[in-house]
Chain A
Amino acid sequence: MYKIVTKTELAPNIYLIELASADIANKSNPGQFLILRLDDKGERVPLTIAGVDLNKGTVSTAFHAVGRTTKKLAKLNAGDSIMDVSGPLGNPAEVGNFGKVLLVGGGVWCAPLYYVAQALKKNNNKLVVVAAGRTQNDMVYENELKSVADEFHVATDDGSKGNEGLDFLADVLKAQKFDHAVVMGPVSALKKVVEMTKPYGLNTMVTLASLMVDGTGMCGACRVTVGGETKFACMDGPEFNGLDVDFDELVLRQRVYLPEERMASMIHDKLGGGVKRG
């Protein structure tokens, strides 16, 4: 069992939890992920590591309560435990000394992006950071990201705060030369940013949230096409150069279980049910 040490609501339906595991904390790097299984009957769900506290021996992750597992997780509180936490899995994000780096985070992903940004900052990169969210109320980790940014932008889908949508990035890209870019967010955002950076040939690293089961290279559920080759996101990624990624295939594959996920989510909403114990 793994104890939830703290739980924070970052925005409506978006939470940050800190889990006790000194072993995982000691080995975690930005860009890697955990796989959680809440109880006996639970599904294995991947969540990106958003930071560690080596003194406390904890690892944290931020999640958006969208389906059955994340909604159940949202009902747990500090002091509660979950059955399985596996990690760190996947490869760390590249955080070398690049020069000037563009960072774009969407929604809940701004939390793990901050972990990457801190490492890039430590390696003396200049950071131009964009924090994006659906509305001004959905912004996550805005202040944290701002604190490491040399240049900072905010964007919301509805324009309620900062820029409306990500189109303004075209001007940012035109005005200065970047050496590297990192994008974490929903696939639509990854795809959009890559479309804009492609003309500049800018290496744009994206974290791919493909469907996963084991997260250790056993099942191939996470396969994605990158540069014309099939890769396993959990073993070869999850960070890939977005210029090479077949996003359309990724979107189709992410939707494979949509009817089942909707059913499970509806059962959860109608019948309730939290984490089973014992």
Chain B
Amino acid sequence: MDKEQRKHETPMAKQGVLDRIHNFYEVALGYTEEQARAEAERCLQCPNPRCVQGCPVDVPIPQFIKLIKEGNYIGASEKIKEKNSLPAVCGRVCPQENQCQKFCVIGKMGDPISIGRLERFVSDYERNQGVTIPEKQKAGATGKVAIVGSGPAGLTVAADLVKLGHEVVMFESLHSAGGVLMYGIPQFRLPKEIVQAEVSYIKKLGVEVKTNYTIGRIFTIDELFADGFDAIFVGSGAGLPRFMNIPGENLGGVYSANEFLIRVNLMKGYMFPEYDTPIRIGKNVAVIGGGNVAMDSARCSLRLGAEKVYIVYRRSRDELPAREEEAENAEEEGIIFTLLTNPTKFVGDESGWVSGMECIKMELGEPDASGRRRPVAVEGSEFMMDVDTAIIAIGQTPNPLIQRTTEGLETTKWGTIIVNEETGAATKEGVYAGGDVVSGAATVISAMGAGKTAAAGIHDYIQKKKGGK
């Protein structure tokens, strides 16, 4: 391969814009075998690979890429799974441009290796071949562990512990497992069939999954201990939507992004009335916020038939927290970015439905605590936007139910659970936590990383408790 060739990534096919804005099928189509091999060829197989530093779970990147070069896709998938039990998910939704790919040396001269796409390719390949179930490696004493929440953090802990021979029961309050992967991230970015394949994989490993169990209501953490669990992992996510507390926010047509996305994704509202749960979308939709949640809400709105969809964000394009690929997809699809703008109130019609949104222009001032320049309102710059649907996507915080019903579980002022970073142990004995409930809304892979840590912490705890070691 010559130097020039090496600089350019192998493009991945996408569904055309005109088609995809009318359907919920996956936008990115994935690599073919030839494309994956070509992309793998570009990797320099660095002896001291920088890319791995950018991956929160230390995926052995050059090693798995080498196996792709050799045509051993199953081997490559198994290699990844040593560190990352959800590669089909991460390959699709990791913000690679800020993680592994950001550090790839080729990125200095050209396009970094498309590590995510390769990860996606091998795991899709493996899934289509039929996944094999690994042997359990019983290592020391075993115990009974409860997992609360079935998002990426919980799934990771469950898989790691069951493989070590522990008895694992997972409790999920919704009717299907998967957390945000099921209810938040839309079908066109992460098909639900893939999430369900991952859930059935951990079931096959021997994890008992109990859906419809809201911990804090049906059982408290203490009741679970009394029931014989040796340790409990809390991976309940950051599911409580934030509102803006501005007038008119309770009008019809004003959704939290969570309500909107749950109706669309989990309840399949886009197939109403074949499915029973309705979702109403207007002609002019404003989505407030600039993260992944906002992009997903905007792109769902378009697919549900909205004519104009606005992203209303109070900072500028450079500060958008969304994955770059998704912001680009949104722009391509015709989402209108109304930047440096903040809503101040909603007005409604006589039936109580939102009919307009008053906004104020913002400008960027001094950097704030997050290091980003703080948006400041420009006095007197109020203007009205003509909207009949508004979706508020300004962030989520942890649901307080478990924290409220568990004595001795300390939290920060933001409601996140305090843990020891090395072990994932919370302040109450036997309780571990990780993922968004600890970090605040973050990423799939960071939740999985925290899950890995907690699984190791729980395993050690059980060894000590049961005198195995």
- A residues at B contact (CB < 8 Å): 23-24, 27, 37, 41-44, 68-69, 83-89, 213-214, 216-221, 223, 225, 230, 235, 249, 252-253, 255-257, 260-261, 263-264, 267
Contacts and interface: CB of A to CB of B under 8 A. Distances in A.
25 contacts: A23-B213, A37-B175, A41-B275, A44-B277, A83-B175, A85-B212, A87-B212, A88-B217, A89-B217, A214-B173, A214-B262, A216-B173, A216-B214, A217-B239, A217-B399, A219-B262, A220-B259, A221-B256, A221-B259, A230-B249, A230-B250, A255-B252, A256-B280, A260-B273, A264-B278
Contact of A223 (B213, B250, B268): B250
A213 B239 CA distance: 13
Contact of B278 (A217, A252, A257): A257
Interface string B350-385: 011100000000000000000000000000000000
Contact of A216 (B273, B275, B401): B401
A27 B219 contact: yes
A256 B253 CA distance: 8
Question: Which 6 A-B pairs have CB atoms at the shortest separation, nearest pair first?
Answer: A252-B352, A260-B278, A219-B259, A43-B276, A86-B212, A220-B256
B351 A213 contact: no
B352 A253 contact: yes
Contacts of A260: 272-273, 278, 280
A255 B252 CA distance: 9
A218 B266 CA distance: 13
B249 A263 contact: no
Contacts of A83: 175
Interface in B238-258: 239-241, 243, 245, 249-253, 255-256, 258
A257 B280 contact: yes
B226 interface: no
Q: How large, as a class, is the contact surface on chain B?
A: 35 or more
A253 B352 CA distance: 8
Interface of B: 173-175, 183, 211-214, 217-219, 239-241, 243, 245, 249-253, 255-256, 258-259, 262-263, 267-268, 272-278, 280, 351-353, 399-401
A253 B250 contact: yes
Contacts of A225: 250
Contacts of B219: 23, 27
Nearest to A266: B273
The residue in B175, B240, B268, B400 that gathers the most chain A C-beta atoms within 10 A of its C-beta is B175
Nearest to B241: A220
Given A217-B400, A219-B241, A264-B273, 4 more contacts: A41-B275, A214-B173, A216-B239, A260-B272
Contacts of A86: 173, 175, 212-214
Nearest to A32: B217
| Chain A CB within 10 A, most for which of B243, B249, B252, B353 | B252
A152 to B, nearest CB: 33
Given A27-B217, A68-B276, A249 B173 contact: no
Contact of B399 (A216, A230, A253): A216
A165 B259 CA distance: 38
A263 B272 CA distance: 10
Contacts of B400: 217
Of listed B262, B277, B400, residue having the most chain A CB within 10 A: B277
A214 B174 contact: yes
Contacts of A85: 212
Nearest to B260: A219
Given A43-B276, A218-B258, A84 B212 contact: yes
